[in-house]
Chains A and B, each alone.
Chain A
Amino acid sequence: MLQTEQLTINIGPQHPSAHGGLHVEAVLDGEVVVDAIPHVGYVHRSVEKIAESRTYAQFVPYTARLDYLGTHLPVIGYVQAVEKLAGIEVPERAEYIRVIMGELSRIASHQLFIGSLAIDLGATTGLLYCMRDRERIMDMFEMTSGQRLLAAYMRIGGIAEDLPPEFLPAVRSFVRDIPKMIKEYQGLLYGNEIFQARLKGIGKLSAQDAIAYGVTGPNLRACGVSYDIRKAEPYGIYDRFDFEIPVGSNGDAWDRLMVRNEEIIQSGRIIEQALDQLPEGEIRAKVPRVFKPEKGKSVYHRIEGAKGELGYYIVSDGGEKPYRLHVRAPSFVNLMALPLVSRGGLVQDIIVNIATLDPVLGEADR
């Protein structure tokens, strides 16, 4: 057998497919991957420490910068955690609007997932198609909050402002167009032989390993585990909606893509139901500007983020600022499975694995 020297190459932190500051140390034997070690921390902004010097309300916009691709979801997670901590009741209308915005964020995040996967595979056009459709969601965010990417629209006890009149028709027409979008992705990407060959059977993760590694979200569901916090432990008003949890069977890159693709459709269903049930009324509960939760009280609240289980652990010391805040970032946990799925594959598969594990480095590094 021919002996070859092992080659260590650094993929990132400056690399076209590094997804914003990820550094993967890849040990290669020819083109075969011996190991792929992710090094995180390049986008570390000490969000958790900042929380300790801000009041509960002041910290809200920082959370939008965690998972900036599905921007409303981390904010919803945070405000719900604080509401749980302080025992605040949220008005019905605000709950529904949160669901609509959260699911729109999920769709935006998944569309960007498909787009970035396409460009990582060299199909530049796929990215542009997904970006075009995501743009409509960004426009809706702009309508409601004036901000496109980092819309900190949620407030503790409700939302910032009521929906503008042009918002509802825009959402309706977007939801109606979802099947058309999926069909276009199908035609351009999923149906392509090369695209399928690049994804099927790549980066296999068994259900057992996924659970052992703490992988959550679409990545876990792709392994065949039907676990979605919206169903398993409904938060907010998610128990009122009828939707399915798409699951994969092989846990490979293709399943991870397909699960997300199906989730776009399911999120569309949730939005449709929320639009139909949307009540009139208050949008924000009366919350004092400065409030002090009980001393020693702590809460862990988790929601189904776009990337997986997004949890906030908040400890109060009776002051107006949290004593300690911890974010359970799904991107970080999911990324740790990268060596496991990459070993034995090819260099090109590392790129596919990074893209399909879908880490957002802002969230992983916090």
Chain B
Amino acid sequence: MQKIETLFVDLSNWFIAWLQSLGVPLAWADAILLLIQFLCIVGIILANITILIWLERKVSGFIQQRPGPNRLGPHGVFQTVADALKLLTKEDIIPSKTDRLIFITAPILFMTISVMLYIVLPMGKDMQVVDLNVGLFFFISLGSLTTIALLMGGWGSNNKWSLLGAMRSVAQMISYEIPLALSLMGVVMITGSLRLSDIVAAQDNVWFILLQPIAFITYFIAATAELNRGPFDMPEAEQELTAGAYTEYSGMRYALFFLAEYTNLVAVSALLSTLFLGGWQGPWLPSWLWIIIKTYLVMFLFMWVKWTFPRIRMDHLMAFSWKVLIPVTLVNIVATGFGLYIFKGIGG
């Protein structure tokens, strides 16, 4: 049991020891390990997304009372692989009137930012690439950068639909960034730290979803908007803006946007489980399995919402953020403050 629990940690320790036995200095061995860890992250992301897209289709099929993909492999598990191959082999089209540099960099930037989010996520006990002391802050600030990639895509495409989609995404992101950050403040106040490993450790006895239920809900809503998922999928808004910011993209460039969105989804779900659901903590099973289970449960929640809700209107979206979410999160912060003060007063 202990072996499985520390499987990956042991593996990396063994690797460093092996490198040192070959005469590689420790600093170099660490650097090589870091590189391997980055590669692992990319591997995890790609593997996860392959499963996730299949899962999304199956879940939507389940909700819509249809079988979903079922032709390629058992229960259609290879459907995503086939789709990825199809997108890879498509002709790379760059419309002539686009701003080439911006058009090409936008999907790459989006993907890069999404991958970077994983650096600070604790994937299990002692399993974190970099344990930044401002981990949470790093995550939020990077997450908001994706807007720039969307705006670049929308502007560079030189298409009215794309521009409208990009404008919407900027407006949405600016409004939802605030409740997103504010709803996490409660957790930070209780823990007294922005370090994600500290936040997980603080949930030793009780998960923060019980101490901060309102923050969980507000963060969930704001994160849905941040992820551009239904009912807040304004930038894409298929039925209105054809494909919004992605209208002019095709082939692998489109796939990159698509992948990046799912990468974001996994990252945000993992963060949500880290902050509110006790992170990798859990009985019996190894820690890295716990975080996977929790992440997938949160992702199922995101999918459930997406496939049952209609899209909200743009002005309602803004009004909801400024008139409902932000006041609620502010009240939550004040209440948390009072709670902490009283708790400390009693507990000493």
Which A residues form the contact surface with B (CB < 8 A)? Answer: 7, 9, 15-17, 31, 118-126, 128-129, 132, 188-189, 192, 194-195, 197-198, 346-349, 351
Question: Judging by beta carbons under 8 Å apart, are B64 and A128 in contact?
Answer: yes
List of A residues within 8 angstroms of B78 by Cβ: none
List of A residues within 8 angstroms of B66 by Cβ: 128
List of A residues within 8 angstroms of B63 by Cβ: 125
List of B residues within 8 angstroms of A188 by Cβ: 308
Q: State A126–B309 Cα separation when bound (angstroms).
A: 9
Question: Judging by beta carbons under 8 Å apart, are B231 and A122 in contact?
Answer: yes
Partner of A123, one of B240, B310, B316: B310
Given contacts A347-B240, A351-B240, contact A197 B160 (CB under 8 A): no
Question: Judging by beta carbons under 8 Å apart, are A348 and B308 in contact?
Answer: no
Q: Is the interface of A mostly helix, strand, loop or mixed?
A: helix
Return 5 A-B CB contacts under 8 Å, by A number: A119-B239, A123-B308, A128-B66, A348-B311, A348-B314
Q: State A189–B239 Cα separation when bound (angstroms).
A: 17
> Least Cβ distance of B62 to chain A in Å?
10
Question: Judging by beta carbons under 8 Å apart, are A122 and B314 in contact?
Answer: no
Partner of A122, one of B60, B242, B311: B311
Chain A proximity mask over B231-242: 1 for CB below 8 Å, otherwise 0: 101000111101
> Least Cβ distance of B175 to chain A in Å?
15
Question: Judging by beta carbons under 8 Å apart, are A31 and B312 in contact?
Answer: no
Partner of B309, one of A31, A129, A192: A192
Which B residues form the contact surface with A (CB < 8 A)? Answer: 60, 63-66, 160-161, 164, 230-231, 233, 237-240, 242, 307-316
Question: Judging by beta carbons under 8 Å apart, are A194 and B231 in contact?
Answer: yes
Question: Judging by beta carbons under 8 Å apart, are A195 and B310 in contact?
Answer: yes
> Least Cβ distance of B161 to chain A in Å?
7
List of B residues within 8 angstroms of A17 by Cβ: 239-240
Chain B residue nearest to A195 in the complex (CB): B310
Q: State A194–B64 Cα separation when bound (angstroms).
A: 19
> Least Cβ distance of B92 to chain A in Å?
22
> Least Cβ distance of B80 to chain A in Å?
19
CB contacts between A and B, total, < 8 Å: 78
Question: Judging by beta carbons under 8 Å apart, are A121 and B160 in contact?
Answer: no
Q: State A123–B307 Cα separation when bound (angstroms).
A: 7
Question: Judging by beta carbons under 8 Å apart, are B64 and A122 in contact?
Answer: no
Question: Judging by beta carbons under 8 Å apart, are B307 and A125 in contact?
Answer: yes
Q: State A198–B313 Cα separation when bound (angstroms).
A: 7
Q: State A129–B258 Cα separation when bound (angstroms).
A: 27
Question: Judging by beta carbons under 8 Å apart, are A346 and B314 in contact?
Answer: yes
Question: Judging by beta carbons under 8 Å apart, are B60 and A9 in contact?
Answer: no
Question: Judging by beta carbons under 8 Å apart, are B239 and A122 in contact?
Answer: yes
List of B residues within 8 angstroms of A122 by Cβ: 230-231, 233, 237-239, 309-311
Question: 5 closest pairs, A vs B, by CB?
Answer: A122-B311, A123-B310, A128-B64, A121-B310, A17-B239
Given contacts A122-B311, A123-B309, contact A129 B65 (CB under 8 A): yes
> Least Cβ distance of A191 to chain B in Å?
11
Centre residue among B164, B231, B313 by max chain A CB count within 10 A: B313
Partner of B64, one of A16, A125, A192, A349: A125
Q: State A17–B237 Cα separation when bound (angstroms).
A: 11
Partner of B240, one of A118, A126, A348: A348
> Least Cβ distance of B134 to chain A in Å?
36
Given contacts A189-B310, A197-B312, A347-B240, contact A124 B64 (CB under 8 A): yes
> Least Cβ distance of B238 to chain A in Å?
6
Question: Judging by beta carbons under 8 Å apart, are B239 and A16 in contact?
Answer: yes
Question: Judging by beta carbons under 8 Å apart, are B239 and A121 in contact?
Answer: yes
